[in-house]
Structure formats: structure tokens, C-alpha cells
Structure 1
């Protein structure tokens, strides 16, 4: 996932004009999502930032917090061809990727024909992804990184844009399987969904239990989304932001001279985390109406970008520490 795109850089005026148009579209998207998803502003922001940055997101939370509803709403509002896969223990890789079937024509000649699976969509909702076995979970690996799949030795390209928004129940619940580290690293962000505030929950009660319920409407096209994604990759990144990203990510790796990191972190984030932070900081800046990211964007996105790319030592777990606690300490030390 390179952050460098070889495109002709436009003039500053052109960039500002493009950004202003993008801001208008982003405002419409936020308004469209807000009609259906009440509260959870931080969750909506992070999910949109992940999509605008061109990546995938993992939504983690207990059942009933509108994770699936959020993904469905984003698909409708953004105008993406969306498909849903309900992950279960008996789901097979071919149920996701597709398979080849033998056909016979009128002359008796037999041949194989590939039937695409539900992964051939612009927005794939992997619902309760940790309910499936590791073998089935790994079927997403190639598609999430390389944007194509290989079946029976033949390459099949996926539609563009292609995003995976997966939902996951906490691992403490029965009947779940931990996601492989290699697959976790392919998610741009892990977005934790908490219980709503009381005012948001009051609005949920009043507006979703009557006869009429608000429905999402389309406000953007896939082509326009790709233009916004291209604009984000062309946004300048100040040297101070680059240094902040490098210092933060490298401080989370054991063996670099940080005694506290060595004590609490078994393994830390790799270069893909730095790439993800750079892209997400750009997207968050545009989401907030700015043409360049700041160090504050880096620190605000540190938790969702880094937490699924780190593992704690036994000593840290024995002290009752969580990954978020360690990241908060690193951000505080860096700030």
C-alpha cells in the first residue's frame, strides 16, 4: 500500500478548488449517514476516513450497536455496489471467492466456467468475520492487498473502488476465532464501537420504533469517490507530520531503546502502519476542511490505526494493561 502516486501535481488554486468541491460532497455524505445513524459521530468519522483513504476497516463491538446498519448505510449513501457475507463456522473460501463449474454445450464439449462470488463488489460487508474458521478468513487476504483473486490459477480483478468493512464481536464471546495477524494488518483501521450516549439512545428509541423509519439515500457516485481518494493522495504532508508518524510508530516497536516499550510490547507495528497513518491523517484533514494534515491528526488516529497491529507481553497483561493504554502512553510521551 504505497502512499506515493505518480500524478501530475496541480496548481495550488486547482487543489483548493478540488478540495472545496470535495468538502461539499463530504458534507452531503455526513448528512446522509446522520439521517440513519444517530450519535456515534467518532465512529462515522473514522469509517468515512478509512474509505476516503482507500482502505478497509474492522468494526468491533457487542451485538446491537448498528455495526451492520452503518455499513449498509455507507454503501447506499456512497452509491457503491454492496454485497454482504454472513460469516459462519461452516462457510468455505469458495463461498466468498467463487468457483468453477463444468458446463457442456450442445455438441457435447465440456469446459469450466468461473462463477464469481460475493467478493466481486465495491463494498463488501464481512458480517461477524470472526465467526468463520481461520481458513475461510484467510480467503480475504489476497483481495484486500492486491485487489484481485486467483481461482484455479486464473487471475480475476475486483471492481474499483474495493473496500472491505468487516464487523466483529468481541473475542470474549463464545464461538469466535481470532483473526490472523496478517489479515488484521490489512485493515487500515480498527474502529471500536461503544454504547451510545443517552441523548442518542433516546433518539433511537423515538425514531426507530414507529411506523416510518428514515432511509438512506444516494448522494455520491463511485467515480466521484475515486476522485476524492485521488485528491487525498495528492495532498501535501508537512515534514513535522512525517516526523511525528515515524517517531510514534517506531516508539511502539520493541528493541529500539525504549525500556517501557520493551517491557509492555511483544511485537509492534510495521511500515504499513506508517503508511496507514499518513493516508488517514490526510483524509481526516480533508474531512475537517483542511488542505494538509497536522500532528493532531496523527495523535487522534493513533489508536484505531495501531491497536490491531500490536501485541502485549505477558507482563503487560499481568499488570492489567490493554493495547489502548500502551498507545495512550506513547502518544502522551510523543506529544
Structure 2
């Protein structure tokens, strides 16, 4: 049986890579839906509020990152929570990763099928996307982490495409008012939930922390990443609001993509196709990292974490994920109708929101208690 090094730690990376990973994770799919759940101009304050709360959450997460438990990887986790408890958490973590991969993959495939390949089976698109992620993940965790630089530069230009929509003749400045509501609608919590769920992503660094340099000031880099994402969220929301207006925005499905269809150049007629294709880098990269996390969690669950990684085990995990996503797509997945999310997407929104809130606080509190008793 062939042995290959998926989790080799030959070098430690700057937290700059962690910053790039967080900015890309926070742009996965739901940011494309966010404006139609915010609608009103005063929800700009909602984005800022969730941004401040996420900064506090990142501060708590960074405090855990500075402990010796976080830097020691699996050994640190076993010292912190005990091996049986780690296996229980790994079991639930595998389900969490599988659902997240399923939702972001199938949601993106719906977009590709709707705007680019309407007559091509989504099952083939899923296989192509997952095989590409499989190839990147097979290069190992170290190279996959470095690949974020390419992903960043391939997608960082996307928000610039929306700048023309903030000026006439596309924009109407009156759509930015009122910035202070007379009363807060009872449905506002849904928009805040979508924002908070979209800001999740920093908690996944728990799985990658051993590959970063120890004793670095992670909070500075993660706060920069979070602030950068907040600026992007506000920019996209303002652009869609100025273009559609609140009344039309509430009924527009995928407004972030639909408005790009109104842009045309001498060279490119369908700029929305370029935009959707560029987003593919985000989904391929995220699935590659999640695939490595899934394989690592399976090794913990099966008590093989101290044994060398095997190509066969990695392939079997990949086959399980590809078949699982394909089966759900064929029998259980129904694309959201209009502005409504389907049940899988709603479940994913709640899972992301809860995990982003609980995981940093739980790990920091346990490490604090464990440190005092040591």
C-alpha cells in the first residue's frame, strides 16, 4: 500500500495565509443571496453590528490560538478534551463537513446549471468539481494552504465589477434612504442570521493551526480579514440596493449575479459567465481543505491518527463524499424557489451560525479551566 504525506509539517507559514483563507471562506455562496434578505438601507448597520460581534468572537478564538493546546494539534486536543471525547466530536464534525460540502457544492452547481450549462446534468458538474478538489487536496495540507494565494488573486477583483452600479445611470441615491428606520420589522433577524452565518470561517483554522508559526498575533491578521469581508459585504449590498431598489431587491433571486448581466464590454458579452467561473476557485479550494479535514477526522474516529496516511484511505473518503453528494443531488436536493432557500440551505445557515458562536467560546473556556488546573 502506497504511503504519501498529506499532513506533513515541513514548514510553518505566516498568519498572512490564515488571513487569506478566512477572506475566501467568508465569501462562499450565501454572500450571493445576502442582499435579498437585507433589502432595506438601514441593514447596513446590521452588517456593521454583526461585524463588531464577529470581531469579538475572533478575539476569543485568538485567545485560544495562543494557548499551548492549540499549537500542539491532535496531541493538544487530547490533552484538552481526552481522546474518547475527541472521537465523539470527530464523528459530529464529519457530518458537519459533509453537509457543508454538500450544500455549497450543490448550491453552486445550481447557479452553473442555470446560467452557463442549462442542459448539462449537474451530476457531471459535481464529479468534475470534486475531482479537481481531490487533486489539490492530494498535494498535502502544506501545498493546499499555499494555494490560497492563487485563489485570492483569481477572485479579489470580483467586487470591482460592481463599482459601475454605484454611479448613474444605474444608481439612484434615493434608494439609500432611510438609513434609520421608524420601526424594526420582525423579519430583520433573518438578515442578521444570514450575515452572521456568512461571517463564519475563522473557526476552521483550528484544523490548520499546526501549519502556522506558533506564538504569532493571529488576532491582528484575522481582524484584518474580517474587516475586509465587512467592507465587501457593505459594498455588494449598497451596489445591489442602488441598482434594484428595496422593492425589486426583495423579489430578485441571486441579485449579485443578475445585475452583472447588465454589464457588457466590447470584448465580453456575458460577463456573468466570467464571474460565475471565477467563483469556482472559491468552491474548489474550500472543498479541497474540507476533504483533508474529513480524511483527518475519519482517521481520528478510526484510531489511525498515529499511523502513516494511505492513498487508499484518502481515495475511499473521496469516493464516499462524491457518491454522497451525488445521491443527495439526485434524490433529495431541490433548488430554492425564488428568494426561498431549500431545507438543506436553511439547515446549513443555522449550523454555520451556531458553530461560529459556540466553537471559539467553548475551546477558550475549556483551555482556561484546563490551564488553571494544570
Q: TM-score, normalising length from structure 1?
A: 0.24
Higher relative contact order (CA 8 A, sep 6+): 2
Instruction: Give the structure with the higher percent strand.
Output: 1
Q: TM-score, normalising length from structure 2?
A: 0.22
